[in-house]
Structure 1
């Protein structure tokens, strides 16, 4: 793995933000455990800046990824990204009830930020050079890896090469399964379904042999009560995915969010959020990443 430091300018901005945070008032502690009941309300757009005082803040998350970002049938929001975003918002001066949650589908994330529809996005948002040309990223706050999910009683897949001649599933349009087929197991039989839930059903019914995407997403699904004990992660670490919090290009929120993320790690709330959301899947997560350092 290669580590890439942020630029000198970015580092200087972070130092300044830390100094300012030390001189200013504390927005409150908050933990990852108190976010599952946060609910949103309708809004016409983002607040344009996190000033606290009961003002609304609009945050983009996934609505359909258990363990990461999920809108439940009763209108609540759960997941690791939700916990991280709620903690960050608290440090910016916003209580959970001040947060307006907005769905941030993968294809829409840059547009939502560029139009100012959200203040920031925490939605399994991997930091890449192409995306960094359009938006800025705070973090990273989680290092994930491409992995596979297999049945708990399947001992035939012990290495990535064992995926050869296996039925490998991912969602339509995803690059994950194609990466495996072109780079690791060229004889894998690629199956593309409309959603991860369909892949899970196929995996449970032995129609497919493995499901591939980020290990954090796989762990979130495997941790759901209806799947308890049925699946396991391969632990293959086939890529590095540095999850960042997206903000508008040039936004001062980047430095403020970095400060909040550092505090979340230091006070134990980050570890608590990982255990809460991924623990049931026996997810062997990487330690909290160093802010501003990208692992390639």
Structure 2
């Protein structure tokens, strides 16, 4: 009789231990966000406020970078509903990667020697250029030098407009607005004559339904901006993402994403860059 009681008690303890182990396994599976750790989720940094590139909308997330990141995540073994999107503002990107807040960042993230000291880059996956956006009926700006005496807009703190004023059109009347959307409003109502930043970003804004046919790109290609996918320094994700980007180009998905996000603005994009080929 005493033996049966001991056996029953032991069985109860064993059952509780097994239950606790099972619960622990589920919790371990859900914790963390590193792809190499077997997580159910992957955390990706994007812009939330750049139409055509990366934008948070009532319907979800949209833009070229979103399409690229979603394709890469799928190649890494994650479905779209396993992606956690995180806003990555320009000034925060290196810190977010170093802290492990995200697994990778695709956010109009130009590869530069200075940034490569802090993080690694896969890609590039898009070669953009600094350009200007003007009103569709304005034929007075045919080259960067035509910006002299024109009202040139960019966002406060941006180096784009200052680059034009310093090197290409020293007599340009530089106007700094808080957002690109404010610059667009000024361009539309005639308060400014041109908006400058990366051509991909300009094309994304111009492709919005409310702006179709109202603006055009200058096509000046004033700088090279090699967009890469940022990862933590030394991460083995770099090689895996590079393979995914090559697949995206070869199966036609890259071209389809360009046409989908930039096509309405008649964006004359560069061919898909080769991995590791960073244009200076």
Same fold (TM over 0.5): yes
State the distance in 2 between where 1:251 and 1:50 align.
10
State the distance in 2 between where 1:257 and 1:160 align.
37
CA RMSD in angstroms comes to: 1.3
Q: Is the 8 A contact 2:132 2:196 kept in 1?
A: yes
Match of 2:161 in 1: 177
Matched, 1:64 2:49: yes
In structure 2, relative to structure 1, the CA distance for the partners of 1:46 and 1:112 (3 Å cut) is: farther
Question: Where does 1:60-99 land on structure 2 (aligned, <5 Å)?
Answer: 60-74=45-59, 76-99=60-83
Question: Where does 1:101-250 land on structure 2 (aligned, <5 Å)?
Answer: 101-250=85-234
TM superposition shift of 1:45: 8.7
Matched, 1:276 2:267: no
Structure with bigger helix share is: 2
Deviations 1:5-31 (A, max 9, x none): xxxxxxxxxxxxxxxxxxxxxxxxxxx
Q: Is the 8 A contact 2:35 2:76 kept in 1?
A: no
Deviations 1:61-108 (A, max 9, x none): 00000000000034x000000000000000000000000000000000
State the distance in 2 between where 1:50 and 1:88 align.
15
Question: Where does 1:31-70 land on structure 2 (aligned, <5 Å)?
Answer: 47-50=33-36, 55-70=40-55
State the distance in 2 between where 1:86 and 1:71 align.
14
Give SS of 2:114's match. helix
TM superposition shift of 1:47: 1.0
Match of 1:255 in 2: 239
In structure 2, relative to structure 1, the CA distance for the partners of 1:211 and 1:95 (3 Å cut) is: same
State the distance in 2 between where 1:213 and 1:58 align.
28
List structure 1 segments (4+ residues) > 6 angstroms apart after TM superposition.
Answer: none
The TM-score with structure 1 as length reference comes to: 0.83
Rg (Cα) greater in structure? 2
Q: Is the 8 A contact 1:46 1:58 kept in 2?
A: no
Where structure 1 has 5 or more consecutive residues not aligned to the other structure, the ranges are 1-43
Deviations 1:140-196 (A, max 9, x none): 000000000000000000011000000000000000000000000000000000000
